[in-house]
Amino acid sequence: MGTRLLPATKSQPKEMLPVARKPIVQYVAEELVASGVEDILFVTGRGKSSIENHFDADPELSNQLAAAKKADLLREVDFADMPCNFFYTRQRVQRGLGDAIRCGENFAGEQPFVVALGDSILGLHAQSQTLRRMIELFESKRASCVVAVEEVPEHEVSQYGIIQPVDADGDVYRVSNLVEKPAAGSAPSRLAIAGRYVFAPIIFDMIRNVEPDRRGEIQLTNAMRLLCEEGRRVFAVKLAPGEKRYDIGNFPSYYETFAEFALADPDHGPAFRARLLELLGVK
């Protein structure tokens, strides 16, 4: 519900908050397309229709930009040429991430599919190889699930789903168990689920078998744990050292993300940097 970002998210979804020039969800869509995904289903909910509007045509705006000969800007707001199809569905009641994924069951059918959480950007300007590596690993290992992980400090493990790795091959791990938001001191590792997943359709059966937690939510992490318990092949890929996950779910990391992306803006970054140094009193 984006309560950690109120009042900014009172009447707009957090996925539509801007990070420098674009809303977060656009970076996520661009990352998916760059990773070879051709059909994107947005699982939204009440109050999130601005996501659909963002990717829709806006003839008035397009005409105005064309008349003003702003071809560059026109290209940036016209998603018709994006090599993917957009689909939308709504989760009627917020019953957790596992339940949201179940809204895509008919869409996925018998095919493996990717899940990307809309409040995280992988890599500066979504320049990320992680999903491509995950898809390749999923295929080569004939896996049931591949998840992206990042190493987090001990005091942050309770904010994430944490994997229990059994075997490591470089930055690829075989996973034997997962725990959603473990208490500090009881986590099986410091490798946290980073909001990107590849699943075989069997995950839908697992989701159906997950009991709601004490808040009534169906946790995706618990469905993945059932995959492990059945002895299925679950792997984790660690983000490459230069590849950061930008989490927009709370103000401190939202501020940091915005500043980092704005500093990297080819047109306005240098002036922003100079102004920041001035504000900080650094010459």
Binding site for ligand G1P (CB under 6 A): 97, 117, 120, 160-161, 180, 192-193, 195, 220-221, 249
Q: How far is the CB of 53 from ligand G1P (least distance, A)?
A: 24
Nearer Cβ to ligand G1P (30/180): 180
Question: Residue with CB nearest ligand G1P?
Answer: 161
Torsion of CA 124, 129, 134, 139, to 10 degrees: 160
Q: For 263-281, b where at least 16 C-beta lie within 10 A, e where not — what string?
A: eeeeeeeeebeeeeeeeee
The nearest distance, CB 14 to ligand G1P, in angstroms, is 11
Beta-strand pair 234-238/145-151: parallel
Q: How far is the CB of 260 from ligand G1P (least distance, A)?
A: 18
Nearer to ligand G1P, 65 or 97 (CB): 97
- Least Å distance, CB 162 to ligand G1P, is 8
Distance of alpha carbon 106 from the chain centroid:
21
Nearest one of 125, 129, 144, 126 to 197, comparing CA atoms = 144
65 or 115: whose CB is closer to ligand G1P? 115
Q: Which is nearer to ligand G1P, 160 or 199 (CB)?
A: 160
The set of residues, in sequence order, having a beta carbon less than 8 Å from that of 252 and lying 6+ positions away, is none
Residue 240 class from Cβ within 10 Å (0-12 exposed, 13-18 middle, 19+ buried)?
middle
Contacts of 26 (CB under 8 A, 6+ apart): 54
Nearer to ligand G1P by Cβ, of 65 and 144: the residue is 144
Sign of CA dihedral 6, 8, 12, 14: negative
Give min distance, CB of 95 to ligand G1P, in A: 13
- Measured from the CB atom, the residue of 182 and 269 that comes closer to ligand G1P is 182
- Least separation, in Å, of the C-beta of 143 and ligand G1P? 18
Task: Let me know: does 93 contact 124? Beta carbons within 8 Å.
Answer: no
C-alpha span between 127 and 132 (Å, rounded)? 11
